[in-house]
């Protein structure tokens, strides 16, 4: 993942980054930071024109991540993700807190638990509509995300780390059987 473009040339990004910096610089714990960042992203959610027309179009080969900003001290990163119909992540968890806002379309999320280490249980799902913002802090953040709709989805992700140094926000991918919840 490389840093694409500049904070100054992407509409709304400089304003957003300024707000994120103030929230993260409060040095609260992860859960509180995710809540503070959720408020900022909700207030300052940019439009899809944050991305160029070419970036907004996505890629038939898979969902595309665009790293838009990394804070100088590595405190947070801002990544836009473009999902064409049906494009899906692996089942994974994260190295840090994360806040996601949907700029266009719908982002469908399934949540999993890994109770004994040898299988997964699906514990929840949500369809995050355009304009919605939600955040979380590990643990309990095993999920899979996809675009279930015909329209291309664009979402904006803020992570509490420098993702350019570790390549992505993923801590671990889970290639385990999914079993029904036992009574
Ligand atoms: Fe994720």
* Spatial separation of the C-alpha atoms in residues 43 and 38, rounded to whole Å: 9
The rounded Å distance from CA 51 to ligand 1 centre is 20
What stretches of the chain show up as alpha helix (H) in DSSP?
Answer: 13-24, 30-43, 53-56, 163-166
* Spatial separation of the C-alpha atoms in residues 92 and 145, rounded to whole Å: 10
The rounded Å distance from CA 135 to ligand 1 centre is 11
The rounded Å distance from CA 98 to ligand 1 centre is 8
The rounded Å distance from CA 143 to ligand 1 centre is 6
Cβ neighbors of 117 (< 8 A, separation 6 or more) are none
The rounded Å distance from CA 84 to ligand 1 centre is 17
The rounded Å distance from CA 77 to ligand 1 centre is 14
The rounded Å distance from CA 93 to ligand 1 centre is 6
What is the pLDDT tens value at each position of the chain, 183 positions in all?
Answer: 556 655 668 999 999 999 999 999 999 999 999 999 999 999 999 999 999 999 999 999 999 999 999 999 999 999 999 999 999 999 999 999 999 999 999 999 999 999 999 999 999 999 999 999 999 999 999 999 999 999 999 999 999 999 998 888 999 999 999 998 765
Written as six digits, the tokens of 44 are 């300052």
The rounded Å distance from CA 110 to ligand 1 centre is 10
Q: What is the reported pLDDT for 6?
A: 56
């Amino acid at each position: 993942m490389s840093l694409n473009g500049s904070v100054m040339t992407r509409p709304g990004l400089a304003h957003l980054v300024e707000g994120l910096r103030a929230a993260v610089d409060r040095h609260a714990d992860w859960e509180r930071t995710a809540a503070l960042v959720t408020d900022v992203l909700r207030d300052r959610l940019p439009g899809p024109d944050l991305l160029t027309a070419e970036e907004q179009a996505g890629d038939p080969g898979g969902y595309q991540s665009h790293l838009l900003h990394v804070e100088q001290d590595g405190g947070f990163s801002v990544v836009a993700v473009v999902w064409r119909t049906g494009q899906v992540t692996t089942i994974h968890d994260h190295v840090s807190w994360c806040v996601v806002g949907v700029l266009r379309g719908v982002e469908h999320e399934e949540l999993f638990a890994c109770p004994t280490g040898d299988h997964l249980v699906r514990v929840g799902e949500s369809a995050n509509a355009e304009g919605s913002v939600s955040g979380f802090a590990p643990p309990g953040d095993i999920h899979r995300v996809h675009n279930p709709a015909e329209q291309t989805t664009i979402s904006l992700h803020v992570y509490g780390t420098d993702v350019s140094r570790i390549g992505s926000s993923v801590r671990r991918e889970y290639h385990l059987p999914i079993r029904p919840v036992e009574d």
